Structure 1
Amino acid sequence: MRISVAVITYNWPAALEMVLHALVAQSELPYEVIVTDDGSQPATRELLERMAKDYPVRLVHLWQPDDGARMSRARNRAIAAAQGDYIILLDGDMVAERHFIADHRAFARYGCFAQGSRVLTDAGLTRRMLEQGLIMPGFFSRGIERRRHTLRLPALARWYAKPGTKRRGIKSCNMAFWRDDLLRVNGFNEAMTGWGREDTELAARAFHAGLLRRDLRFSAQATHLYHHTRKHVVGNPNDLIVDDTRARQLIRCELGLDQHLAEFAEAPVDLRLARRDHAATQSS
């Protein structure tokens, strides 16, 4: 099983650097890391080109123009480009614990998607993490919420991972699907722009397609770096799309993943190879 990690980012290269370092400090490496970029300034590309020099797995950068928050489109492009058959969705401010990839692999089951959890940090701890490098909070660390999510307990994790259809707590910041299942439901709904609910709508269609959810508690842990977040507001147009999807029991969205498949019929460039080719050209 090849695992692709699709990391979505927007204009926070310091956080992204820590996320990318964590993904290659794993007990088991993924096949590739795809950074899907919702319109960042050049500093993000410059970071990736520097990191590509020593990165041990395929590293891909997909960029789209900054035209408002288009997370669904960015994630769909990563799914279309992925060379793995199992895709972990991860936000660019989520720092993975060292068994993150191995745990996702252990709990991958056909007919299911996986919903991970996260430890929340405050501004002070996030600042220290960014200044001091790859440090992970423990159960007794200051500056965290959801403290229980620091604990990795394999036996208890297996109990929580019983397949079901729970709708609460859907978050694409740490979530995983078989690529074929995402193709079947046509990925994220790109009619949903702006803040929130695109992951909830995707999960609703996954349930309608017969998929079950496995909760990854006490496993596949990640720490969320603090930043100001928008709260859910009444009247969000995306809520209406979620309601319509549920009411009509939709499985596929109209504006989704399939529109990007032709673009990535050939695998996108691995930044490690692009760097070597550039160096060879410069020396010739």
Structure 2
Amino acid sequence: MKNSINISVIISTYNSEDWLEKVLWGYACQDSANFEVVIADDGSKQPTFDLIQRFQKIVNYPIQHVWQDDDGFQKSRILNKAILACKSDYILMSDGDCIPRKDFVSTHLKYREEGFFLSGGYFMLPLDISKMITKETIFSQQCFDVEWLKKNGLTSSFKNKKLSAKGFMQNMLNKITPTNASWNGHNASGWKKDMLAINGFDERMQYGGQDRELGERLINSGIKSKQIRYSAICLHLDHPRGYKTKESIDANLAIRKETKKRGVIKTPFGIKKL
């Protein structure tokens, strides 16, 4: 099994079975076959276990379920456990509310390169359209079609080019976007050895920027970033974020400031406690 897996896809989740089901159907549509999904579960209850066990029997890719007890928002901790569980030497990270387009995995494989990590974006959907998406619209890829989305209430915006851009336009937009090529938890990939070298995520960090801080330490270690926000496409489903607090965001900003100021590479609060 290990030799046939080109890429491990880590998906974070917490008690969100309706969204996770849509996401797992998205991975069943991929045009690249040699990948595994590693679900980083921050303490979900039985319905998530039941959903994953059902999908393990019906989809064409292997699924690992890495779970920990519910101890509040501890995404950094479960992501570190998921990194260790990955069978591939290359890791793509996304979330349990992000449906991948059919070329999502193959695009990350296409652009991967030693000494780099890849920075993708997302296309945010409003809640009403998020609820409309079904297994059928995922398999037909209708849910990625701008015209279908407009018929269902999506407003016109330059951001819609994330879904419609192809070929030359896609490459040009990747080059000219003012958005920084940061590590984005919903859509980024890199080499497992590079993540282990910086000791993974800082487990002091709760909601708000722990993914960016990982990328900042990768850059401090000499890894460069590559922008693919118009090439690797996922739909971000809307939902409330009860775990978002000013305290956690402020604490994380202070850690990121220290990471930049001191050029921190290896966090002492990561996979191995130093």
Q: TM-score range by the shorter chain?
A: 0.7 to 0.9
Q: Give the C-alpha shift of residue 139 in structure 1.
A: 2.4
Q: Give the C-alpha shift of residue 119 in structure 1.
A: 0.8
Uncovered stretches (5+) of structure 2, i.e. residues with no partner = none
Aligned length: 256
What whole-Å deviation, never above 9, does each CA across 1:86-110 have from its counterpart, x for those lacking one?
Answer: 1000100000000111111111011
CA distance in 2, matches of 1:217, 1:93: 17
CA distance in 1, matches of 2:181, 2:58: 40
Moved more, 170-179 or 59-68: 170-179
Matched, 1:257 2:271: yes
CA distance in 1, matches of 2:170, 2:267: 32
What whole-Å deviation, never above 9, does each CA across 1:74-94 have from its counterpart, x for those lacking one?
Answer: 111111100011100010000
Q: 1:13·1:47 contact (CA, 8 Å) conserved in 2?
A: yes
Q: 2:42·2:74 contact (CA, 8 Å) conserved in 1?
A: yes
Moved more, 226-235 or 209-218: 226-235
Q: 1:8·1:91 contact (CA, 8 Å) conserved in 2?
A: yes
Q: 1:14·1:130 contact (CA, 8 Å) conserved in 2?
A: no
Partner of 1:25: 29
Partner of 1:75: 79
Corresponding letter in the other structure for 2:197: R
TM-score, length-normalised on structure 1? 0.83
Partner of 1:217: 229
Matched, 1:43 2:47: yes
Q: Give the C-alpha shift of residue 64 in structure 1.
A: 0.6
Q: 1:18·1:95 contact (CA, 8 Å) conserved in 2?
A: yes
Q: Give the C-alpha shift of residue 159 in structure 1.
A: 4.6
Any idea what SS the aligned residue of 1:258 has? Answer: coil
What whole-Å deviation, never above 9, does each CA across 1:7-34 have from its counterpart, x for those lacking one?
Answer: 0000111111111111121111242111
Corresponding letter in the other structure for 1:191: R
How many percent identity over aligned positions?
29
What whole-Å deviation, never above 9, does each CA across 1:163-209 have from its counterpart, x for those lacking one?
Answer: xxx7576421111011111011111111112x211011111111111
Partner of 2:144: 137
What whole-Å deviation, never above 9, does each CA across 1:124-171 have from its counterpart, x for those lacking one?
Answer: 101111586524232232344731211242334445556xxx757642
CA-atom RMSD in angstroms: 2.3
Any idea what SS the aligned residue of 2:58 has? Answer: coil
CA distance in 2, matches of 1:128, 1:183: 39
| Residues 159, 168 of structure 1: alpha-carbon distance in 2 compared, 3 angstrom cutoff | closer
Q: 1:73·1:190 contact (CA, 8 Å) conserved in 2?
A: yes
| Residues 27, 132 of structure 1: alpha-carbon distance in 2 compared, 3 angstrom cutoff | closer
Which of residues 81, 90, 95 is equivalent to 1:91? 95
TM-score, length-normalised on structure 2? 0.86
Structure with higher helix content:
2
| Residues 232, 103 of structure 1: alpha-carbon distance in 2 compared, 3 angstrom cutoff | farther
CA distance in 2, matches of 1:97, 1:77: 26
Partner of 1:56: 60
Which of residues 203, 206, 210 is equivalent to 2:218? 206
Any idea what SS the aligned residue of 2:49 has? Answer: helix
Q: Give the C-alpha shift of residue 2 in structure 1.
A: 1.4
CA distance in 1, matches of 2:167, 2:120: 14
Q: 1:126·1:226 contact (CA, 8 Å) conserved in 2?
A: yes
CA distance in 2, matches of 1:159, 1:119: 18
CA distance in 2, matches of 1:188, 1:159: 32
Moved more, 64-73 or 228-237: 228-237
CA distance in 2, matches of 1:160, 1:183: 32
CA distance in 2, matches of 1:171, 1:224: 13
CA distance in 1, matches of 2:196, 2:168: 32
Moved more, 217-226 or 91-100: 217-226
CA distance in 2, matches of 1:172, 1:243: 19
Corresponding letter in the other structure for 2:203: E
Which of residues 194, 202, 224 is equivalent to 1:189? 202
What whole-Å deviation, never above 9, does each CA across 1:257-279 have from its counterpart, x for those lacking one?
Answer: 236xxxxxxxxxxxxxxxxxxxx
